[in-house]
Amino acid sequence: MNQNNNYIKIFFVLSIIGLILVLFVYLTFAPKKIAVADISVDMLNYVVAVEGVATKIVKSKFNREFHDNTFCLCMRNETRAHFTLTDENSEIVVYLRNSDLYVPSSGEKVNVVGIVNYWYGVVLFAERVEKVKNNA
């Protein structure tokens, strides 16, 4: 009986050490979410802009690159995308469910179907409505 208690103590100690190691690896290598975006919605539930600062190249899972100092992200036809700022260099990594990403200009309106905030970023359900012409 005493030997069984020793096995239980050893198992408990090893479990605690394992949990600490998993937490250490996660905190070391997991992306840090500094910020997500500012989502501006008007009174008719249209997104006026989904903007955030990107000082480096915006890369998609499909290696499409967007060289810009701002970003607007949404998906056509109520498909989904999520995005997050990853580190101190403010590189934005875009994770997509499919390759139908487009980056609307600021001021383009999209119909908000839903916005869900997860630990890894925001999932924006939206569909394109109209492109607002910029007279600048």
With contact defined as beta carbons under 8 Å apart, do 50 and 124 qualify?
yes
pLDDT in tens, 50-107: 444 443 344 444 444 444 444 445 444 333 444 444 444 444 444 444 444 455 444 5
CB contact set of 5 (below 8 Å; sequence gap of 6+): none
Distance CA 23, CA 61 (A): 27
Sign of CA dihedral 29, 52, 108, 42: positive
Same domain, 45 and 94: yes
Q: Is residue 69 part of a domain?
A: yes
Domain that holds residue 84: 38-130
Q: Is residue 122 part of a domain?
A: yes
Distance CA 108, CA 12 (A): 56
pLDDT class for 4, splitting at 50, 70, 90? Answer: confident
How many separate domains does the chain show?
2
Q: Is residue 46 part of a domain?
A: yes
Q: Is residue 135 part of a domain?
A: no
**How far is residue 49 from each of residues 16, 17, 101, measured CA to CA in Å?**
46, 46, 16
pTM above 0.75, yes or no: no
Q: In the block, which residue shows the tokens 């394992």?
A: 18
Same domain, 83 and 118: yes
Same domain, 80 and 112: yes
| Edge-to-edge order in the sheet of strand 58-59 | 38-41, 46-51, 109-118, 121-130, 81-85, 92-96, 58-59, 65-66
